[in-house]
Amino acid sequence: MQSVNPYTESIVEEYDEHDEEDVEAALSRAAETFEEWRATSLTERRGLLTDAADVLREREEKYAELMTEEMGKPITEARSEVQKCAWVCDYYAEHAAEHLQEKTVQGPEDAETYVRYDPLGPILAVMPWNFPLWQVFRFAAPHLTSGNVGLLKHASNVPGCAKAIEEVFRDAGYPEGVFQSLLVGSDLVEEIIEDDRVRAVTLTGSGPAGRSVAEQAGKNLKKSVLELGGSDPHIVLDDAPIAEAAETGARARTINSGQSCIAAKRFIVHDAVYDEFVDRFVSEMEALQMGDPKDEDTDVGPQAREDLMEELHEQVEDSVEMGAEVRLGGEPEDGEGYFYPPTVLTDVPRDSPAGCEELFGPVASVFRVESEAEAVELANDSQYGLGGSVWTTNLERGKGVAARVESGAVFVNELTKSDPRLPFGGVKDSGYGRELGVEGIHEFVNRKTVFVQHGVGDE
């Protein structure tokens, strides 16, 4: 298994893949460890999570550079990602006891009734390359702390990050087997899900991968959580603060070099402010600096793989053939590295790739609408429903629009982002289930009802 630097196109490192014998050993270790780990006090688990946060902070630069080398993330964003991983560890170390506390439910007067939260067992996490640390830690922090054990099948282009995450938990003092990275291809995922020792599965990734995992989990009657793609609307109403909407919109479209499920992708702009917004937005996108991801001043790095860059360009070309106008960018950069420039498309046909597919790179699709109602209709005219944002100077109006947008999250006058304190996930083809917050930690526990009848056999 190789990791290839998308900036230099050179091999970073090669790793030996795990074979079926290695996977069997890992599954056995996970099942054995779970019986001990579930009996470990919550206080001890929380303390270990605090230690994991300390390891992350101590090694921030090391892990940030690793991400930048393996998938091209700009170094300033990579550092922020490590910091966010430490934050999610801090959050659950502080709040897990509250979130997992037995909940008393009013029942008969002569009985004690409550709900307790018990761990399920080994959980398989199938994770993507675009946020190679964060998307694993937002799974691991709550679910290891609730008493489960984790098995990570990471994306094949970030094996170094997979090993680094395993290293964090080991060096924080977690028992061997609580968290294991499996360096395997996708061909072994079905077999792992089918194994009786695996009790649940979570995936962050593409729609096809999500459907495959959901099918296998459903066939084996196992709980699953899916966070899939998105084509988030960035709605600019006629009373929007245009300068802020354009500036934040450019950042929202190009975070992680545009490779984010919750990036703003469809810019839906009221006719009354359309021209002003487009001019400002194009200027903001044009001002972004593209280059060496290890350079502190770089805003947009390379795409993570050459095939992904080529697929993105095909979507742009097909959209232009169908009538979209290129206002900025639109062609891969010549030379070394998998660079695709910040790109703005206007007059985008709704049935073009830029109108109805997810463009996983720094390409913005801009639409003109005549009314608020049309803006909401277009925002919802998508197979996806992950996030979205609304821009207006009238906050009550913004909340009203947010209520009508069909997605797992809507932000008013801010870009869509995840936060350990808030539930995160989507609807429609963007998946199901929630991560983060109290809702997230409850996804992989047995919410067990306990009914204790009083007066029977009492002396």
Q: Which of 200, 202, 209, 258 is nearest to 231 (CA)?
A: 258
* pLDDT per position as a tens digit, 54-81: 999 999 999 999 999 999 999 999 999 9
Pairing assessment for the beta strands 363-369 and 343-346 based on DSSP bridges:
parallel
227 is catalytic: yes
Catalytic residue among 261, 284, 358, 372: 261
261 is catalytic: yes
Catalytic residue among 70, 227, 435, 443: 227
Q: Which residues of 197-221 are buried (b: 16+ CB within 10 A; e: fewer)?
A: bbbbbbbbbebebbebbbebbeeee
Domain 2-228+430-451: CATH superfamily is Aldehyde Dehydrogenase; Chain A, domain 1 (3.40.605.10)
Domain 232-412: CATH superfamily is Aldehyde Dehydrogenase; Chain A, domain 2 (3.40.309.10)
pLDDT of residue 459: 56
- In three-state secondary structure terms, 26 is helix
Specify the residue for token string 């995922």. 189
pLDDT of residue 296: 97
Specify the residue for token string 């932000």. 411
- d(C-alpha 288, C-alpha 282), whole Å: 10
pLDDT of residue 88: 99
DSSP code, position 419? -
pLDDT of residue 358: 98
pLDDT of residue 392: 98
All structural domains of the chain with their residue ranges: 2-228+430-451, 232-412
pLDDT of residue 83: 98
pLDDT of residue 457: 77
Specify the residue for token string 């170390």. 93
Pairing assessment for the beta strands 111-119 and 103-104 based on DSSP bridges:
antiparallel
Is-contact 228 159, C-beta < 8 A? no
Specify the residue for token string 């460890």. 33
Pairing assessment for the beta strands 363-369 and 264-270 based on DSSP bridges:
parallel
Which regions of the chain are under pLDDT 50? none
- Is pTM, for the whole model, over 0.85? yes
Question: How would you classify residue 216: left for phi > 0, otherwise alpha for psi between -120 and 50, otherwise beta?
Answer: alpha
pLDDT of residue 458: 64
